[in-house]
Copies of this chain bind each other. A is one copy, B any other.
């Protein structure tokens, strides 16, 4: 079965609330669960893994309407795998595990990863700051699944997971933030250090193990043990709102100083000009320029038709796997750079 993804369109779940959209790009909730009848995936043999996959697929199919897509990752080629990764449907661990599976709704959220680090990981994603809503919906789904599947649970520890960092609630909530104001006013380290004391952790654009690029930061809960999943989610919601305020304050001071405003407006204008007229562009440069443009939304520097959602959508479309998949051939790296410039301009031309 093909992956059924239109890589010329951005992820369908990206639209969202607009109240915090200037700072919060997207929210994600995932629950990790394991089946009580099998060892954790890392200790299963092939036979056990395929039974796990079958059990979970059956349970999901019974509970959730049949228009979902269900994939066995060993049947997916490498370009398609890159697309699943870039759309955040699959982690690289899932893509490289034996007998792993992926089930996802046509809108690409919710999704269920099977035989990643844990037997089951259910995730939901949405644009903007929507953790509470996602938490509620994902919680309902995982509860429904627990009527069909017996999850490993201990009275003292809570839900059992392969890695101790997930034990307890099995919840990870995260938000992808855009923090150019805090970075450019050199306040970001202070703010992010304070956050780590609250049991939260900061990662780069591509999640675990990646460094922050283009002012993008991923913020998530680190502690899952000893607190209710509602509490964990609430902490992140509250901290996110505080960061939104601090980021907005930093931007105001950036755009208030008569020297800094001119400098930053020039940077934003040049970024847009290069994106609009370059003939080749590497992923990282595109990411950085889109990020600067994002800071210019609504400020009369870039065309009025361009909104946060448009720029956030482009973050997905410009990635290497997306470009290769759209062209249906293996592009060499420098050819991707040309095609990336074309894709960006096609999108910007529609808007500006």
Contacts and interface: CB of A to CB of B under 8 A. Distances in A.
Interface in A182-240: none
A115 B193 CA distance: 71
Dominant secondary structure at the A interface: helix
A249 interface: no
Contacts of A276: 273, 276-277
Interface stretch (A10-18, A86-94, A262-270, A321-329): A262-270
Nearest to A338: B262
Report how many copies the assembly holds: 2
A275 interface: yes
A145 interface: no
A273 B277 contact: yes
Rank and list the top 6 A-B pairs by shortest CB-CB distance, nearest first. Answer: A273-B273, A273-B277, A266-B279, A269-B277, A265-B279, A269-B279
A5 interface: no
Interface of A: 262, 265-266, 268-270, 272-280, 301-302, 334, 338, 341
6 contacts: A262-B280, A262-B334, A269-B277, A270-B278, A273-B278, A277-B301
B270 A274 contact: yes
A272 to B, nearest CB: 5
Contacts of A280: 262, 266
Counting chain B CB atoms within 10 Å of each CB, the highest count among A266, A268, A276, A301 belongs to A266
